[in-house]
Amino acid sequence: MRMYNRGSELRSTGREMTSILRSPQALQLTLALIKPDAVAHPLILEAVHQQILSNKFLIVRMRELLWRKEDCQKFYQEHEGRFFYQRLVEFMASGPIRAYILAHKDAIQLWRTVMGPTRVFRARHVAPDSIRGSFGLTDTRNTTHGSDSVVSASREIAAFFPDFSEQRWYEEEEPQLRCGPVRYNPEGGIHFAAGTGGPGPT
């Protein structure tokens, strides 16, 4: 007689759900930050926002915040001990930042390309039209940050948007945004599927 195994069924369902959420057709998410040096200058802030829109990213969530020093230290923990660590932490806690969750079929790599190289000197020479090539001041004050992998994107999104459920978004919002039509709300600064009135609770 075959024994019914509820736990096995749940694990199987979870694997199936994961494969659906991570299917090649699904939109990819990334975290994008606009750093204090850019947020302090409204024209630069707006120019970076327009770069996001012109590169066809969907803005899933957006918020502005002041970052506590302890949160900065935790976020940049992998760099602890390196010569620039303390300077980076102090700078990121020095003023308001803007955080985005961006969606695109290749969000992580595309955003990193739009940002340009980390080192501003290199960005100015090899990607002068990139965000860092245009607005970066130093390797620390380089205007923007972006996740470098799917794993880091999930971790970083959770750090800045603790109420955002990535799984729920993939289940409920992603199919509507991917299949369209999609509208942009200039007041809220985000995209939403037409007919939904905007994102639901996270």
Sign of torsion, CA 150 152 155 158? negative
Residue the block writes with tokens 């299917």: 23
Check the annotation: does 142 bind a ligand.
yes
Length of the chain (residues): 202
Check the annotation: does 35 bind a ligand.
yes
Check the annotation: does 118 bind a ligand.
yes
Check the annotation: does 91 bind a ligand.
no
State the Cα torsion 160-163-167-168 to the nearest 10°: -140
145 is catalytic: yes
Check the annotation: does 5 bind a ligand.
no
Annotated catalytic residue, options 49, 79, 104, 145 = 145
- SS3 of 75-143: the string is HCHHHCCCCCHHHHHHHHCCCCEEEEEEEECCHHHHHHHHHCCCCHHHHHHHCCCCHHHHHCCCCCCCC
Check the annotation: does 55 bind a ligand.
no
Active site members: 145
**Binding site for ATP: what residues are annotated?**
35, 84, 112, 118, 132, 142
**Binding site: what residues are annotated?**
35, 84, 112, 118, 132, 142
